[in-house]
Amino acid sequence: MDLTTLVSAADMLMTPPGRGSWEAWLSESARRVRAACGAPGAQPRGPADELEALLRLPGDIPGWLRAALESADPEPATASLPDVTEGSDALLRIVTLRCALAAGIASLHPARAAAPLFGEAIDESAPSLPTTQELRVSFGLRGREPQVALLAAEGLSNADIAARLRLSAHTVRHYLERVLERLGLHTRKALALRLMRKAVGGKQ
């Protein structure tokens, strides 16, 4: 088992964008899972369907990934996981990735539950924070800084952000300090207001 590709795939599955491009996240996740599982090139299907096929286990109900994403409920991603104490490397790899995916789904902002991934569009008139990509482009944030900024703006503590992103609280504090410095701000409240203005006002 190639641990490097497995860790890369698990990391991607655990960190979906809060309100970013779902298709891009699913596509990149499928690419990394293919590499971790030694699967052939991309299949002629949507990234969600391909990812579901790559991580399929006996007893899965078709459409479990879409159901989990649309409800922001990680249970469908783990409901049928078998005991792997004596399983093969391939089975262990899939179960590991399914657990990572469940963790990623569990980290989604609760507001996503009201806006299905596959179906009706998000109400653009509702207030929302910018995407991680918008923060990278507009404010020059790098690495995990956009994710930390968004979670801090949503009111999460450093400890909660650390648990969500699988980082140490010290690392989260460091990222948040850099975000505030880049934006010329001093408090989380100011950060939340600045990001909300960005979302309402568009590009600055």
| Model confidence, pTM | 0.50
pLDDT tens, position by position, 45-56: 788 888 888 888
Q: If you classify domain 132-201 with CATH, what class do you get? A: mainly alpha
Q: 98-103 long-range CB contacts below 8 Å, 24 or more apart?
A: 98/55, 98/57, 100/9, 100/10, 100/11, 100/13, 100/14, 101/13, 101/14, 101/29, 101/51, 101/55, 101/65, 101/68, 101/74, 101/77, 102/68, 102/74, 102/75, 102/77, 102/78, 103/13, 103/14, 103/74
User: What does the pLDDT read at residue 153?
Assistant: 85
The residue ranges of every structural domain in the chain are: 3-114, 132-201
Q: How confident is the model at residue 155 (pLDDT cuts 50, 70, 90)?
A: confident
pLDDT tens, position by position, 76-133: 555 555 555 555 778 888 888 888 887 777 766 444 443 444 433 334 444 467 888 8
